[in-house]
Amino acid sequence: MAPTFSVQDIPFSCRGSWFGISPVIAEKTYADDLHLVSHQTGMHPVLRFEARDGAARADPAVVATPSRLTWLGDGGRIDLVFDNPDTIRVRGEGLGLRLAAAATELTPFSGTYLYTDPVDGSHVFTSYETGRRYRVTVLAGDPVVAGSQLLGAGERHVDLPSGTTWEIAVEEYATARARYSSTASFEQVADAVHQQFALFLEAVAPWRSDRTPAADLAAYVMWSATVDPGGFVTRPAVLMSKHWMDKVWSWDHCFNAIALAAGDPGLAWDQFRLPFDHQDPAGALPDSVTHSEVLHNFVKPPIHGWALGLLRARAPLDREQLREVYESLSRWTRFWLTGRRAPGHELAHYQHGNDSGWDNATTFDEHRVLETADLAAFLVIQLRELARLAAELDEPAAAQRWSAAADRMRDALLDQLWDSDRFIARSPITGVPSTSASLLALMPIVLGAELPAEVGARLAAGLRAHLTAHGLATEPVGSPHYAADGYWRGPIWAPSTVLIEDGLRRAGHTELADEISRRFRALCEKSGFAENFDAVTGAGLRDRAYTWTASSYLILAAACEGR
């Protein structure tokens, strides 16, 4: 049975599309009506869907499944399906629909213009914000158009009257395209989308059972957030969300790649490789990539060696892929070893909390530029992975160099940052140590069995102090710095959960790893796939359709089903 979901939380979309149907029209901003929201050149509400009964606005219930969005009211119903990634079909029986420009004012530099195309009689909205056209082709019914060719302020809409049966197609495109035509019925279109998602679900979560009840919806969140190549997005990409977090950040993508690897290795490879398509001459990865923007103001932590190991365990790479990833991962690692190590220092540093991915964690309260234990641990793992790759590529001397660098980094981590029961951070400028209660100080558990047993045991004990009924709080609930919706100062996050769970398991602390996995999976099953969660109540926070949360659920659920 197909899952149902609330469009208040998860946009209705399909694999490949750059737009979705949602009431979320900006960060934390919800409209009364559903909108066609495009993510080309940013997040932009373009068209508003207003259900109507006679001359009045109706307020029907909205029901969504992966293949169909439905408005249900006393006066009838409206159904919406994706014909293909850039085209929707909308059909009404009894209920009417006003399809209106979201912006009511047109200036030379903003807004949406409406005109009737003399070539085919369609009604076209052209949006300054997205740089795209939205063509409405009437397949059945008699529309009423207002505001055609209107400049300045005023309503621009196409009305499909209530009390009738009508159907339209709406296409997003650039400048011109052939007249819309289709031999498929509305129901055939809906069935085709149903089958597409069913195949994806079966590929990425064939193990699902009653013990993993959120697997279907997690798969939908990932499938529907996937876009075709466009702009700076050089490959098919799973955006973090088709809400306002509509980017690929250079560590988020790793979790999506891992979750996809066994079932869709081609898409998984594209997820892992996409940020490397924008690697700069210094070897650094961008902070983020989206349709019309690549940012290099910060970087993200080098978890890519860790991720690649898990990716390869699920989907072996051919020799050409191994060579490609070895070269780019080498450059990424050298960036940290040259551009981010002070002279005479073995440990690399972050320049800001944003570099760590833990933007405002309390670790960075006193100093922003810091040598931290999590960074050293990630680099040890990445250096080990490079050594393995070099050996497989018949470069034994390089393998030995990478392995020796990993040894030095691990030894420096333990000698310089271990402080009896947890790791500290240190300013590379002043040498002054920095301590905090942040979960970030316990992240070196990701080294697993490479840590001395007593260090691993102390870290495991420290993790229990962060464990709430729902999972690992990023700042202990009893800390004076804890904030329920404090981003990395309290809430539970997916990436830290997966990294720690994996490290604990490899360190032999399987009971604690099992408990952390169980609590996080239960949290997602209760509260969905939010960007992060209130550590005490378990409520979802911020963006409510976040793919690395969905992929983390799938990673943990698959492992649980396999044990």
pLDDT given for residue 2 in this prediction: 80
**For residue 422, what pLDDT is reported?**
84
- The CATH code of domain 205-562 reads 1.50.10.10
- Give this prediction's pTM: 0.97
Which mean pLDDT values do the consecutive 10-residue runs of the chain (563 residues) have?
91 98 96 97 97 93 97 95 98 97 93 96 97 97 96 96 96 96 95 97 97 98 98 98 98 98 98 98 98 97 98 96 98 98 98 98 96 98 98 98 98 96 94 94 98 97 97 97 98 98 98 98 98 98 97 97 81
What are the angstrom distances between the C-alpha of 376 and each of 188, 277, 411? 54, 25, 10
**What pLDDT shows up at residue 281?**
97
- For 328-340, b/e burial (b = at least 16 CB within 10 A) is bbbbbbebbeeeb
- Count of positions (residues) in the chain: 563
Percent helix, strand and coil across the chain, each rounded to 5? 35, 25, 40
SS (H, E, C) 416-448: HHEECCEECEECCCCCCEECCCCHHHHHHHHHH
- 3-state SS, residue 153: strand
Structure token digits, residue 456: 């691993």
Nearest to 356 by CA among 430, 301, 409, 401: 301
What's the rounded Cα separation, in Å, for the pair 36 and 59? 18
Structural domain boundaries in the chain? 19-174+183-191, 205-562
- Tell me, what's the pLDDT at 563? 67
Could you give the maximum distance between any two Cα atoms of the chain, in Å?
78
> If we measure between CA atoms, which residue out of 224, 213, 248 comes closest to residue 234?
248
User: Using CA atoms, how far apart are residues 357 and 520, in angstroms rounded to an integer?
Assistant: 20
